[in-house]
Structure formats: structure tokens, C-alpha cells
């Protein structure tokens, strides 16, 4: 057989093989995607109400655990990344809120949020007319490592709980530290005091519409 004819038949064969390969249905792997499809982003933030009386210059506390308890009796769901504790400077939150963490949470109903704190550090300026708890003298700045009265773990099971985590609907919680209630007259820290630490559910973010989606019958005013 002449070489030209041999080259022609070999070329035709290669083209047919390529066409057969392109006609096959590709196989896609979905391994590992089922969990993300059924989970919802849930964020945890914190703010602070400024105290009355004593000037708190610095108050830091560690958040060592934060988890949601599902109504179904399943395992608790942690809101901390890799369960890594977070150090929080609460005094910086008097004028703003701080984003702490976010986690993908399975959709469903949840009965409560549990927070565990540890190792508070307190710096105050005593501008009152007397020493405070025989610890901080008048007109002085004092750094303290106060004890946590009662329990360092708080469980919130009343409003806004129970909550339902719905698919495609991100959810957020705002933890509010009320230092005027949490810090006691003896400069200890009572996290369980009434209205000491509260939690509320953040409203969902408004959807983003297309540009120029707002129409005004006349003149729009901001």
C-alpha cells in the first residue's frame, strides 16, 4: 500500500477515535457538596452598652465556646471556627459591633444558644469619692483579674429562641454585653445577672436589586 494511502487511513482512524471520545457523557463528582447544599451561614457578633459610674478603660474576656442546640436532639453545632477561643475587648464595642465568627449550620429548628466565657481582665479609673471594694484607691487606674461569679456558661433559650434556620436564608445573632450590670460593686464579674448579657436575632439583610430598580413618582429624596 502506498505511504500516502496508509497515512490517509491512519488519519481517518484517529479522527473517528477523537469524535467517539467527545461524544461520551462526562462524569462529574459531587462528593462533599451535599453538606454545603443543606447548610446555612450563621454569624455571631457582639456589642456593648457603656457602664454608668466607674470608668471602664479596658475589659477583655475570652469566648471559649458558642454552640446552637437543635430541637431534634442532634449534636450541638459550634459557631466558632475550629472551636478556637476568641479574645474580645468589650470596651471597644461601646461605639460599634464586632463580627466574631460564622459557621455553616444545618437547616432546622434550634432551641437555644450557649456561650462560655473565661479569663476576664479589667482596667478601671476610680473617679468616685472613695476606694472601690478596698481594691482600687481614689483617683487611680487599677488593673484587675476579676473572678466570674456563678457560672461562666450562659444558655439563652427564651426570645429570640427557638429559631428556625431556613435554607438560603443567612442568620445572625448579636450578643450584647451590659458592663454596667455585669461588673459588680466588688469588681467581680457576674455574667448571669439580669440583663447582663443578652442575645437578639439580627434582621435579614435586604436583597440587592438591580441598578436603578427604585422608581419614584416625582422626585426622590434621601
Q: Phi and psi (nearest 5°) for 199?
A: -130, 135
More confident residue, 149 or 48: 149
The pLDDT value given to residue 114: 97
pLDDT at 60 over 50: yes
pLDDT class of 95 with cuts at 50, 70, 90: low
Q: Does residue 207 fall inside a structural domain?
A: no
pLDDT at 43 over 60: yes
The winner for highest mean pLDDT among 30-44, 56-70, 205-219 is 56-70
Q: What CATH number is associated with residue 66?
A: 2.60.40
106-129 average pLDDT score: 92
pLDDT at 104 over 60: yes
Q: Which residues partner with 199 through β-bridges? A: 175
Q: Does residue 142 fall inside a structural domain?
A: no
Contacts of 78-85 with C-beta under 8 Å, sequence gap 24+, read 78/103, 79/42, 79/44, 79/103, 79/105, 85/118
Q: Which domain holds residue 155?
A: 39-53+62-118+148-201
DSSP per-residue letters across 165-202: E-TT--EEEEEEEEHHHHB-TTS-EETTSTTSEEEEEP
87-96 average pLDDT score: 81
Q: Which helix (H) or strand (E) holds 4?
A: helix 3-22
The pLDDT value given to residue 133: 72
Q: How many domains does the chain have?
A: 1
pLDDT class of 15 with cuts at 50, 70, 90: very low
Give me 154's grid cell: 450562659
Per-residue model confidence as pLDDT tens digits over 133-142: 777 888 889 8
Let me know if 67 is exposed, middle or buried by CB neighbors in 10 A (0-12, 13-18, 19+).
buried
pLDDT at 50 over 80: no
189-201 average pLDDT score: 93
pLDDT class of 174 with cuts at 50, 70, 90: very high
pLDDT class of 53 with cuts at 50, 70, 90: low
Q: Does residue 139 fall inside a structural domain?
A: no
The pLDDT value given to residue 93: 80
Spell out where the chain has E strands: 39-49, 55-70, 77-78, 86-89, 98-106, 108-125, 141-144, 148-149, 153-156, 163-165, 171-178, 189-190, 197-201
Q: Does residue 184 fall inside a structural domain?
A: yes
pLDDT class of 206 with cuts at 50, 70, 90: low
5-27 average pLDDT score: 38
pLDDT at 106 over 90: yes
Give me 162's grid cell: 427557638
Strand pairing category for 108-125 and 55-70:
antiparallel
Amino acid at each position: 500500500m502506498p505511504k500516502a494511502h496508509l497515512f490517509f487511513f491512519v488519519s481517518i482512524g484517529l479522527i473517528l477515535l477523537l469524535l467517539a471520545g467527545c461524544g461520551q457523557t462526562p462524569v462529574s463528582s459531587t462528593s462533599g457538596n451535599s453538606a454545603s447544599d443543606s447548610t446555612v451561614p450563621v454569624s455571631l457578633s457582639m456589642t456593648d452598652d457603656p457602664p454608668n459610674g466607674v470608668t471602664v478603660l479596658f475589659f477583655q474576656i475570652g469566648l471559649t465556646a458558642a454552640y446552637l442546640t437543635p430541637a431534634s436532639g442532634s449534636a450541638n453545632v459550634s459557631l466558632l471556627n475550629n472551636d478556637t477561643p476568641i479574645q474580645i475587648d468589650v470596651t471597644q464595642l461601646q461605639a460599634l459591633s464586632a463580627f466574631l465568627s460564622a459557621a455553616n449550620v444545618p437547616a432546622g429548628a434550634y432551641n437555644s444558644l450557649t456561650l462560655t466565657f473565661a479569663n476576664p481582665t479589667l482596667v478601671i479609673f476610680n473617679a468616685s469619692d472613695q476606694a472601690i471594694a478596698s481594691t482600687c484607691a481614689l483617683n487611680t487606674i487599677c488593673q484587675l483579674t476579676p473572678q466570674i461569679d456563678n457560672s461562666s456558661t450562659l444558655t439563652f433559650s427564651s426570645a429570640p429562641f427557638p429559631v428556625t434556620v431556613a435554607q438560603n436564608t443567612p442568620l445572625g445573632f448579636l450578643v450584647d454585653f451590659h458592663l454596667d450590670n455585669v461588673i459588680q460593686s466588688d469588681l467581680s464579674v457576674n455574667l448571669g445577672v439580669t440583663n447582663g448579657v443578652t442575645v437578639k436575632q439580627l434582621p435579614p439583610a435586604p436583597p440587592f436589586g438591580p441598578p436603578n430598580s427604585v422608581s419614584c413618582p416625582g422626585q426622590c429624596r434621601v
